[in-house]
Structure formats: structure tokens, C-alpha cells
Chain A
Amino acid sequence: MIVPVVLTLTIIIGVGLILLGLGDPLTARLGLRNALRHRRQTLTVVIGLMVGTMVVGASLVTGDSLEAGLRDTALSSLDELDVLVRIPGNLPVPSGLMAEVTADPLPDAVEGTSRTFLGGASVEHPVEDLYEPSTAVVGFDPIEDRPFGPFVDATDRSEIYGDELGPREVYVNERLADKLSAEAGDTLTLTYREVFVPLVPELTFLNGTLAAASAAPDPTGGYVYQHAPQDVYETSFEVSRRTEQVVAALFWPDPFNTTDLDLELVAPDGRSFVEDEGSMAAAPAPGLPVTPPLPPPEEAKTDRMNPTFLDIGTEEVVAGEWTLRVHAKAARDQPFTAVVGVMEPEYDLNKAVRFYESLDEDLRDSPFFEDLDPSEALSGGGKQVNVTVKRVVAMEGKAVFFYSDAVFMRLDAAQSLYGIEGKVNWLKITAEGGRLGGLDHARSIESFLNGRLDEIRMSSGAAPSDPESNLAVDAIKVEWLEGTQEAASVFTQFLTLIGSFAIVAGVMLIINIFSMLAEERKHELGISRAVGLTRGKLVTMFTFEGSLYTFFSAALGVLAGMGLSLLLVFGINRLVPPDSYFRVPFTATTEALALAFAIGSLLTFATVLFASWRASRLNVVRAIRGLPEPAVSGREVRWKMPAALAGALLVLALVGILVESQILAVVAPALALFAMGPVLMRWLPRKAAWLMASGAVIAFTLLSFVLFDLAPGIDGDLSIAVRGVVLVIAATVLVVHLDAASRGVARLLSLSRHLAPVARVATMYPLHRRVRTGLTLSMYALVILVIVMFSVFFGIFTPDLTRQTGGYEVMAESEIIEADLVALADTAGLTGTEADPFRDVARFDTLIEHFEFGEERILVDGEAPEGFGGRSAHFYGYERPFAENNGFGLDEWDRSLGSTPNEVFERVLEEPGLVIVSYSIVADPEAKDGKRWHSGATLTINTTAGQSDYRIAGIMEQTLFGGVWMDKAEMERLFADNEGFYLFDLEPGADSEAAAKRIERAFRFIGMDAHSAEVEAREFDQQSERVFQLFQAYLAIGLVVGVASIGIVTSRAVLERRREIGMLKAIGWTRRLVATVFLVEVLVMLFAAMVIGVSLGILVAYLIYVAQVAAIPGVSWGVPWWDILEMLGVALVATIAATIVPLARAGRMSPAEALRTLE
């Protein structure tokens, strides 16, 4: 929306200029000729002017490139996959239900749908002894999956669809194949865990008493039973959905006395299913002996109940009222229990476990509940299978699969491996139009499918825990890309924020250049005015000259911006770990370039206009005679205007407070204080007035960091930038009016006999041209301030990882939870060997972890946490040893629960309803102490089964393992699919990396993935170091501006002071001495800029730290002096390098020629 405005404005100005030029061709020509007359001068001007455009261009292009990179990654990760239907957490769903979801008619835009299973495994290549702990296992149906495109053989590039795969054959994507150095024909071992699908039966009981038949001894030694008429007992029950399973059982105490035990299920449609146990003791004809002989009734008594089962198996289940019948004949009176279980597919382990525990032992052990053994699910039960690599498929198309290590196999093979026959967990949908086609249709397909799901839910009358109710449609590609855009624009904004300092510096440089141009031409301009050129024409002339510069410099700036962004993109790509596939393509769109050009032009043009206006106000006589502007004081001072201005600014400040604009609220009063400078001059000497005014501005602005609540108003972070600019300008005004300081420097320099002649000249010149010095100084100081400020913040926010790891040196995760690693290592015969995983382990803790996807999985005091926990949540379950031994500190905790963090960790185990959370859950960067919630707040965990509320007992310091920490048993009740999480504390001095390797290797068959915390910390450090370097590189643009401007200012100064140089050389100053004068001037200026920049930079950083950051756990104040010194060193060297040419020119200048030049 801003783009068209800026472009239009640029065009309007362009057209306006042309019209103006046509209306007044003479003046226009004069202006243009001026620009072309001094080629060299023009070049420096253009280079100076292009900086702003360059910064804008670089920010935009880099942002675009980043977005393109993220977009490419998203597109290749997903390939043809546009919409995904699944239950969050990837729980299995009957294939038939998925078929219902995609039953015809579907929208035309749907090109294909594919029911897929996604599982996980660790994969080992035994021959190579290589192993990859976390690998995706994708089961696909070759025919359904066709619309998603082919696999491409990595070797012969042939396109295949997977029809050729046998049940134990897989495709392996190149990424995984490289890691395992696997080739076609190799055998790989997959270690995986069967998918646990808890089925919770809904039981209907039927109790009765079987009436005894009369029994008489048989001649063979047994008994003959005389049956009464057959009893029939029955009850009815409801089956609400076709997806349910129906199982019935009959229990009775006496195994030997039954003559007939018919159990019958009658479906609503009249079908009957019968279990006939009577064959064992078939009802004999009355009076006939029974063989084999049965024991006497007394002996047949047993405590155990004997079951018989009736499972309708794969027969169709019809919803409606069913009947359970028991047709029983018994040898003697005895009670029986018949039970029918309607097995509803259930996704809540909590409920399953509770039900299971409520069963009596007999029932629990019975095969009736074999599907329902949660203990097996909780302990994992790893399985292994060998598969053959049919082909290695190239990392393109669907084989990219989220850039993960992936194994692809037939769906039926995967289903049988994972024990979920007839089920899938993903329904993939691709829209027509290839990869990008989905973007247009995804939303409409999404809403269609949501409608379809609603219909299914309605017609099947699904309960909240049914798969129908939990299936969700996810327009995954569209959403991913939207997120991508957001991320890229955040990055662009950040670059622009940093860049805005460079832009301000650039604007100062432009003003400087133009005021120097004006000064240089003063004589000429004075004469032009004297011979009758009006002020307006003068402005026109200057404007034309400026517009020519503007045009060229904006064009050059766009090019330079592209170059700069090329470097940045190169830098970003270097940041990416080499094994990641994320690459940022250099993307310069026409829009971005046009926008950069337009913004740059407008910026420059505005500055040119301002400078022209300033130049036009010259006093003709003084201009011609080259006299300095007189200093005004006392009554001549025009104080009414500034006073009115100050008043207006104060009103503006009030408005700023009302609309919550930080910029107005802070900057307007600061400017008002500045305006008091001229007012004060009425009573005070000029210098004193400025000193007072600028001092007041500095004090006020600094105070504003503390006084104002820094909660960003409508203008957000920009207010910090603006405050930085105000501070620097005020400090500069202060310094250039601080003659005492320069006298001090002069005195210092005069201590050296060699520098004595230089001292006075070099220190007086900068003070003589206060405006120019001020602009150069503040620009350079601003650049240094920004670099210092960001350096400090990078230092503060680089977390100290050793404090984050709780004193554990190795952390590991496993697919399968293994409660007893020691026993495992023992069984494997590793104990005491070289490969003993516990060789350097002092102690370790076994925890469980769980990751939940989806919105609002956790809430604190009813609200979703912002960053972490908003869209997903991580849980850790621990036991007593961890509670007692861990070194994770708590940032704050409920003191009534314990006096040390470890006591609080223990209390959580003892007292139900308590949890500990990591800082990231409660973080709020805008709050005073960095926290949105505190201990005592209520944490709600949402599972598919419902909500559970907990009280936050404490908040951890660490941010590495962000999430909710709770009692392991409690967590097992909440979630079915937990993984193992282990923390190892090593002996002092042990090599953590080697230990991690040993641990990973020893436990690879449970999918162990171990890391050295130390190595992780180092890598993290390097990573943030590189990010820092990248931003430093960007900040360095500002430095380039500063250096360039000092170079330009110096070469101007040398030109301007030619006659003086000539005179000095004539009276015997050597080359070196003359060059030294200029060098000392530069250094004095640089030094002043450094003092202002470093002191204000640290001060501002400290104030922001105190106001906003200090309360954040794990963050401590520190100044990276070495970084700052390094940067100052670079600045010094660069500045000297930039001034060497003009300095040498000054030294070499022939005195005769220098003296000959006219002013």
C-alpha cells in the first residue's frame, strides 16, 4: 500500500521538475551545467547521496531474498502437498473414514488424495556401522500417491512411482542415504515402536443365575445331568457408529458343569452371531451317560472365572440396538456374568488407563483386553525389521519430505509393521496446477473438507473423543507460506531499523555535502544574486542541479544496494549449517528496486530542497566579500520564533502522550528544549545558551528511557532509533560549543614540540565550522552509538549455556522409553568395556518428554502464551532423583512450597496439581520484569480428552528446554506417546562429546539421540556469533557512510583552504606538518565521535537494559569491550585510509599555485 504512494510521489516530482524546467529553461540549464561542470566534485556528491538509497535497497532486496529462500524451502518441503487432514499428533484413523472424507463429489480443484501413514524409526546400516536416530517412515499407496508426482532415482534419474516395491523393500531419500552411505541393494535395520491405539470398551453387563440340572451318578463313574428347560437371558445395548467393534464374553465359575453355553449377538439388521461352547459337554440326550465323566460338583468349584468369547471380527458392524443373549444350561446353580464390550476407538490414554485399572485382575489378564495394555505402550516395546533399499531417490519432488531423513515403503507394509492394519494417519490432498497451484485452491478445498467433516460428524453422531471429532483440515502450504512472509518481513523490518541509522547518517552527509557546495559557491551565488537572480530562481537552479544528483545517486544507490544485499545473502547462506537444505537465493524484484529508487530519490530530493533553501538565504554582500556570518547576541536575537516553536512542540508532546506515540512524547519535548537555546541567547552568551539547551536535551532524553514505560506505542522500536538520533545531535551541539575541550586537546598536543604548531590550527578549525563539524560528528557518533548499542545487546542476549543445562553434560532423547538403561547396557555386554556408555557418567536421570502440536495446547490463567506454547507445547516428566539432583535453578517460586529450587521440584512430585514451567512459557519482553505470569498462576493443559488445571509452583531460569515440567506419572496419565529424555552428569573432566557418542551408539536400538551440551553450547555460540557478524556487517554500512563522509569533508576542507595551505607552506611548514594539521583535525573529530558514540551507546543500552531486560532470567549486564575496541580500531584505520588521499594532496600542494587561487 505504501509502494504505490511512494512511486506516485516520485513520478509527480519527476513530472513537476520537467514542467519547471520547461517553464524556466535558462535557470534549469544553469543548474544542470553547474552539476556537470565539476565532474570530480559531482562524483563525490553522487557517491555521498547514494548511501540512503543503498541502505533502503539492500534492506528490501535482502528481505525479498530471505522470503524467497523461506518460500523455496516451504515449497520443496511440501512439494505437491497442499492440504492435510489428520488428527493433531498424527494418531491413526481408520482408512475407511479417510475415504469417506474424500468421497465423491470433490471440488474440481482437487487433483488427488492419498491416504498415507507417517511413522518414525531409527535406521541403522549395519555393514557400514552407521546409524540415524530419527527418520521418517512414510507408508504410501503407489496408486493413490501418483498425483503427488514420481520419485526420481538418484542414479539413473528414472521416474518411479513405487509399484515395484515389495513388502520389505524401501526407497531411501538421498539425504538419509548420504548419512548412512546406503546404496540400492543394501539392508537397513529399522527400529520402531508399534503405534498404540487404545480402545476403550463400553461394557454392558448381564448377570444371572444358571439353574442346575439334576445330576445322577453315571455307571462310568461320572454323572448324568437332567436339564430343566433351557434358560435364555438377554439384554440390549447401543452401537452408535459403524467404526466400533463389538466383543462379548461370558464368565462362569465352574468349568466342568456346563452342558451348553451359547452366547449370541443379534445385530439390528437381524444377523446373528453365535459362540457355542457347548460342544465340550454337548447336551446329552436325557438319561444318557456323559463321556468323559465330569467331576463331582464340589470338586469342580474354582475361584477363577472361566470366560468364553464372541468377536464378530471383520463382519460389518451396524449402528443401532443390538441384543446379547445367553442360552445357558448348567449342571448346578451358579451365577454367571455376560459382558458385551463396544470397543470405541479412543484417543485418550488417560481414560483408557483409568478404565484398565478399574478392571479386576481376571479381566485385565484376559485376551479380551489385549489391545488395551497401556503398560506395554508406555514402556515402548521396540521392534526391529530389516528392509532392503530398492533405490536411493533424489532430493526432489516428494522425496524431499520436509527435508527430513526419510524411508518410503508401501502403505500396507507400513501398516503391518506398525500394527495398524486398516489405518492411516495422514490424508494428503494436492490441488491442480502443480506446486503453486495449491495456493489458489487450498482455502476453498479446506473449507469444503471442513464442511465434509461436519457432515460426517453429524451423521455418525461422533463423540468428542472420536476420530471424526478430532480430524482437522490444515491448508498447510498456504499457512506455511504466510508464516514465511511474516518471518521475512520481520527480518526486513529489523534490517531497516538498523539501516535507518545509516539512512539518517546518509541524510546528514547529504546536508553536509550540499552546505559545503553552497559555501564553496557562496561567492558565485552572491554575484548571481547581485546581478538580479531572485531567491526563487536560486532555489530552482540548485534544485535542478540537485535533481540531477538525485537521479544518478538513486540509480547508483540501487545498484550498490543490490551489491550489498548480495554480500548479505552470501553471509546468510554461510550461517546456514551445511547439511541443511535451506538456501537463500539472491532475489532482486523490480518492485523492490523501484521502491528503493523511489524512496532514495524522495529522501535525497527532500534534503536537496532543504539545502537549496538554506543556500538561497545568503547575504549578498557577505557572500561576495567572503565574510563570515556575524555572531548575533543580546537584543538582536530572534527569540520569539523559537519560543513559539517550543510551545508548539510541547503541545505536540501532549498529543504524543494522548495517542501513545513515543516518538512525539519524547522527541517533541527534546526539540522544545533545543529551541530554548536561541531563546536563552537573549540573556546568555551564545555558547552558554547552546550548552545549557543541549545539556537539557541529553538529560531529558536519557531520563525518558527510565521515566517512560517503554511499552512500545504506535511507533514501536523506532522511538529508540529516534531517541538515539536526538541524543547524538544534542551531544554534538554540546561538544562543538565546548571550546574548553578543544583548548584542552590543543594544550595536550602542544606538549609535543613536534605537534605544537599543528595543535592550535587543527583544533580550532573544527570549531570554526560548527555546522559542518557538527553534522560530520553527529553522523559518525550515531554510527558508533548504534554499533556499540547492538554489540552490547548481542552480548547480553547470548545466553550462558552452562547455566542452562542444569549441570548435565550430555542430553539424549529416545523414541522408545527405556526405564533401565543400565540393565540394557548390561544385557548388551557393554558394561566395563571400551564402549561402556556409562564409562564417564557420574549419574543420570531418566525423564519422559512429549511434544504437542496445535493451538492452545496450554493456557496460563486462561490465555495462550505468546511465543512458545502458543502453537505447540513441550512437556517433561521427571521422578525423584532428578528432583533432588538437578541443577536447573528456579528464577522464582512459591516460597511456601520449599526454600530451595530442588525442594520445589520435589514438592511437585508429592503434591498433585503442581507443575514447573520454563521461563519461555511466561516470557513477555514488554513487561517490566520480562514475565507475563508468575508462580501461582494456573496452567491449563488441553488434551483431546479434556482440560486439566495445575498451579505453577516455580519458573525455571533455563530456556533451552522450554516447556512444562511435571510429575512423570501424571504426565503418563496425560499423554500416550511419550518419548525418552535422559540427562547425564559426567565425571569431572570427561569428554562430553565422546560420551554422547558412546551413549548414542550403545542405545541405538531404542533410537537414542545424544548430544554434548558443551558442543551444543559452542555451536550455539558460533551461530549467534555469525548472526552477530551478519548484523555487524550491516551496521558497517553506517561505518562506511561515516568514513566516506569524513573523507569527503576532508577533501573539501583541503580544497577550501588551499590559500592557507599555500601560506603555511610559504612560511616554512613542511609537507608532513601540513598533512598533520588535517590528520589531527580528522582524528580529533573521530575521537570526539567515539567518545560521544561509545558513551551514549553504552548508556542507552544500559538504560534499556535496566528498564526492560534486567529482569529476564539468565541475562546479565556486560559490555563487550573487545568487540567495541575492535570496531573502533577498524573505524580508525578506515578513516585514516579514507583521508590519506586528501591529506597527501594537502601535503603535496604547490604553494605558488595554492596562493594563486582566488577565493
Chain B
Amino acid sequence: MHAASITHIKPPSVRAAVPRRPAPEPEPSGAEPPLVATDRLRKTYRSGDLETEALRGVDLAIRQGERVAIMGPSGCGKTTLLNCLSGLEDPTSGTVRIQGTDLYALGDRERTRFRARMMGFVFQSFNLLPVLTAAENVELPLLVTGVRSRSAREQALEALRLVGLSERAEHTPAELSGGEQQRVAIARSLVHDPPIVWADEPTGNLDSENSQDIMALIERLNAETQKTFVIVTHDPDIAGRCHRTIRMASGQVVPEPVTPRAKGRARAAEAKR
């Protein structure tokens, strides 16, 4: 079939499949330790004489299955926080625990393995390898954990099916639209079944319709797989579709402003307890 003839077929709408509804609350369990917990996390960048305090003592906890948005003005330290949480960047001080493991007590090699097993990533600019097909891109996290290529391919196709891109498995990123590319990236972040997915402005490069599609997809996956999504975003709509929002300013977490919806959620949580 000619390449040009399939690009105009719209993929099946994810929105249609997943009704827009408030996200279910995560299992609140006080006894269970949080999936992600930080303790006075600090990060200071030094370039020459200039010091930038990107994080100034961040304490937070994220539970299993939570869909958390991180918001804040540009330059407040969101990406830095995400990088520190995911073990991409050593904090200057403080600790990050994931499932009780002190991330920075691990050596680089163990931490990398840990990341390969525990985390998936979605980036603002997709970061697919342009030389590989969608399926091959999705396979990458599997291959690194030693999955045989045949089963890797099966799982990758399954993940692509999950994000509604089965037909695009053999296309290279250049042949996909931005939204499609991001869905491939999401498939890649899920394919090895990690408990946590980090997403730094996943919709930053997409128009609002595509953004909503992506968010719907995340909501659905979160609901179906109980994975924890931590999403950095500037888009209040996106944040609105999360369980809660962590607000940041100048490298610190600021208390959540009391919104009616948040209040309701808080009350509900209180009542359950």
C-alpha cells in the first residue's frame, strides 16, 4: 500500500472509548509507605560563580496509583524535581525513596537498572529515535531488560494497541503526527510495565485536541493498570484531570490553594479515613 494513502485515515478516537469522568481516588492506605517520597530535596546548579537554587528543600510523597500533576511558573524547578525523582540528576542534598529504596544510595549502574525496571518516561519533545519504527522504538525498554526480541515485539505491539496505534507499528517517527508520536512515546513508557511513569510536559508540543486525547489516554491507562503518573504541565486542564496537583514556586512546593474541587476531594478522603 502506498504510504501517502494511510496517513489521512484518522486513528480511532481514544476519547470515544474512555468516557470523561472524574478520576477514581487512589487506594488510600496510611499504613503502606508512599511509592515516592522525598526528604528536604535540594538542588543547586553551579555555573562558574553563578549559583542557581533550583530546588530548595522539597518534601513530598506520591502514592501508588496516583495521577499527580506538578505545576508552577517557568523556571521554578519542575523539570529539575522530576529529574531528581527519577534518578536522572543527583540532588545536592536530601533523599529520594522509591518503594523504600534510597535512589541515590544506589550506584549509577544499579540506579540505571532500577530505572529500567521501575520507570517509564514521556517527554515534551517525544524523543523517539528517528531511525527506528514505532514498534522498534517501543521495544527499546524491553530489550535493555533482556527480553527476547520475539516477545519484545509482541509486547510492543500490545502496547501500541493500547495507545491505539496498531496500524502504525512499522512507521518511522517522521511519518507520524505529533500526537501519534507522543502516543508511541507513551506506549514506550508503559511497555515494560513500570509502576511509575514520569511525563515532563507531555502535551507541551501538541494542540489542545491532541492534548486532550493524550490526557484521556493517560487517565485510561492509569485506571486500567494502576500505574502512577507524575505529570509536569502548564496546562490547568491537564492538571485538572489529575488526582492532585503539586504546586511549585522558586524551588519549593507551595501549599495547594483551596479550590472547591480539591476541598471536596479532601473531604471525601477524610471521610473514608
Closest to B115 in A: A1068
One digit per residue, 1 when the CB lies within 8 angstroms of any chain B CB and 0 when it does not, for chain A 759-781 equals: 01100110110000000000000
In Å, the complex CA distance between A1153 and B117 comes to 22
One digit per residue, 1 when the CB lies within 8 angstroms of any chain A CB and 0 when it does not, for chain B 121-158 equals: 10101010111100010001101111011000000000
Q: Are the C-beta atoms of A1152 and B145 separated by less than 8 Å?
A: no
In Å, the complex CA distance between A1155 and B148 comes to 28
* Residues on A with beta carbons closer than 8 Å to the beta carbon of B174: 627-628
* Residues on B with beta carbons closer than 8 Å to the beta carbon of A627: 174
Q: Are the C-beta atoms of B140 and A1067 separated by less than 8 Å?
A: yes
* Residues on A with beta carbons closer than 8 Å to the beta carbon of B168: none
Closest to A627 in B: B174
In Å, the complex CA distance between A760 and B80 comes to 31
One digit per residue, 1 when the CB lies within 8 angstroms of any chain B CB and 0 when it does not, for chain A 1054-1092 equals: 000001101111111111010000000000000000000
Q: Are the C-beta atoms of B136 and A760 separated by less than 8 Å?
A: yes
In Å, the complex CA distance between A767 and B125 comes to 23
A354 at the B interface (CB under 8 A):
no
A453 to chain B, nearest CB (A): 83
Stretch in A463-471, A749-757, A1041-1049 touching the partner: A749-757
In Å, the complex CA distance between A1062 and B79 comes to 14
In Å, the complex CA distance between A956 and B130 comes to 67
* Residues on A with beta carbons closer than 8 Å to the beta carbon of B226: none
* Residues on B with beta carbons closer than 8 Å to the beta carbon of A226: none
B211 at the A interface (CB under 8 A):
no
* Residues on A with beta carbons closer than 8 Å to the beta carbon of B143: 756-757
Q: Are the C-beta atoms of A1070 and B109 separated by less than 8 Å?
A: yes
Which among A750, A1062, A1152 has the highest number of chain B CB atoms within 10 Å? Answer: A1152
Known: A757-B140, A761-B129, A764-B132. A1152 touches B113 (CB 8 A): no
B199 to chain A, nearest CB (A): 12
Q: Are the C-beta atoms of B121 and A1065 separated by less than 8 Å?
A: no
Q: Are the C-beta atoms of B149 and A1156 separated by less than 8 Å?
A: no
Known: A1060-B127, A1068-B144, A1152-B83. A760 touches B121 (CB 8 A): no
Q: Report which of B112, B119, B132 forms a contact with A1069, defined as CB distance below 8 A.
A: B112
Q: Are the C-beta atoms of A1067 and B131 separated by less than 8 Å?
A: no
**Interface residue count on the A side (C-beta < 8 Å):** 32
B63 at the A interface (CB under 8 A):
no
* Residues on A with beta carbons closer than 8 Å to the beta carbon of B120: 1067
In Å, the complex CA distance between A284 and B43 comes to 150
Q: Are the C-beta atoms of B140 and A1151 separated by less than 8 Å?
A: no
B218 to chain A, nearest CB (A): 17
Interface residues of B in 32-55 (CB under 8 A from A): none
Known: A761-B129, A1065-B88, A1065-B112. A1073 touches B146 (CB 8 A): no
Q: Are the C-beta atoms of A1068 and B132 separated by less than 8 Å?
A: no
Q: Report which of B89, B132, B144 forms a contact with A1067, defined as CB distance below 8 A.
A: B144
* Residues on A with beta carbons closer than 8 Å to the beta carbon of B116: 1067-1069
Closest to A1071 in B: B108
A1150 at the B interface (CB under 8 A):
yes
In Å, the complex CA distance between A1073 and B120 comes to 18
In Å, the complex CA distance between A702 and B188 comes to 49
* Residues on A with beta carbons closer than 8 Å to the beta carbon of B88: 1062, 1065-1066, 1150-1152, 1155
Q: Are the C-beta atoms of A628 and B125 separated by less than 8 Å?
A: no
* Residues on B with beta carbons closer than 8 Å to the beta carbon of A1159: 125
Known: A750-B149, A1068-B145, A1069-B144. A761 touches B131 (CB 8 A): yes
Which among A627, A760, A1069, A1159 has the highest number of chain B CB atoms within 10 Å? Answer: A760
Q: Are the C-beta atoms of A1068 and B141 separated by less than 8 Å?
A: yes
One digit per residue, 1 when the CB lies within 8 angstroms of any chain B CB and 0 when it does not, for chain A 692-725 equals: 0000000000000000000000000000000000
* Residues on B with beta carbons closer than 8 Å to the beta carbon of A1068: 112-113, 115-117, 119, 141, 144-145
Q: Are the C-beta atoms of A1073 and B144 separated by less than 8 Å?
A: yes
Interface size class of B (residues with CB under 8 A): 35 or more
In Å, the complex CA distance between A1070 and B111 comes to 9
Interface of B is mostly: helix
Q: Are the C-beta atoms of A1155 and B149 separated by less than 8 Å?
A: no
Closest to B152 in A: A756
B36 to chain A, nearest CB (A): 16
* Residues on B with beta carbons closer than 8 Å to the beta carbon of A767: 131
Closest to B185 in A: A1063
Q: Are the C-beta atoms of B130 and A768 separated by less than 8 Å?
A: yes
Q: Are the C-beta atoms of B130 and A628 separated by less than 8 Å?
A: yes
* Residues on A with beta carbons closer than 8 Å to the beta carbon of B80: 1152
Known: A753-B146, A1069-B144, A1071-B108. A761 touches B121 (CB 8 A): no
Closest to A1150 in B: B89
Q: Are the C-beta atoms of B149 and A756 separated by less than 8 Å?
A: yes
* Residues on B with beta carbons closer than 8 Å to the beta carbon of A760: 132, 136
Which among B113, B116, B145, B148 has the highest number of chain A CB atoms within 10 Å? Answer: B116
* Residues on B with beta carbons closer than 8 Å to the beta carbon of A1155: 83, 88, 123, 127
* Residues on B with beta carbons closer than 8 Å to the beta carbon of A1069: 112, 116, 140, 144
Q: Are the C-beta atoms of A757 and B131 separated by less than 8 Å?
A: no
In Å, the complex CA distance between A402 and B189 comes to 84
B122 to chain A, nearest CB (A): 10
B86 at the A interface (CB under 8 A):
yes
Q: Are the C-beta atoms of B141 and A1063 separated by less than 8 Å?
A: no
* Residues on B with beta carbons closer than 8 Å to the beta carbon of A1152: 80, 83, 88-89
Closest to B142 in A: A757
B177 to chain A, nearest CB (A): 12
A770 to chain B, nearest CB (A): 11
B195 to chain A, nearest CB (A): 14
In Å, the complex CA distance between A1070 and B106 comes to 14
Known: A765-B131, A1150-B88, A1155-B88. A1067 touches B125 (CB 8 A): no
In Å, the complex CA distance between A1150 and B45 comes to 14
B173 to chain A, nearest CB (A): 9
B39 to chain A, nearest CB (A): 20
Closest to A1156 in B: B79
B7 to chain A, nearest CB (A): 13
Closest to A1153 in B: B89
A1032 to chain B, nearest CB (A): 38
In Å, the complex CA distance between A1069 and B148 comes to 16
Q: Are the C-beta atoms of B127 and A1070 separated by less than 8 Å?
A: no
Known: A757-B144, A1071-B108, A1152-B88. A1063 touches B127 (CB 8 A): yes
Known: A1066-B115, A1067-B115, A1070-B109. 11 other contacts (CB 8 A): A757-B143, A761-B140, A1059-B125, A1063-B121, A1066-B88, A1067-B121, A1068-B112, A1068-B117, A1068-B141, A1151-B89, A1153-B89
The 8 A-B residue pairs whose C-beta atoms are closest, nearest first, are: A1068-B116, A757-B143, A1152-B89, A764-B131, A1063-B127, A1152-B83, A768-B131, A1152-B88
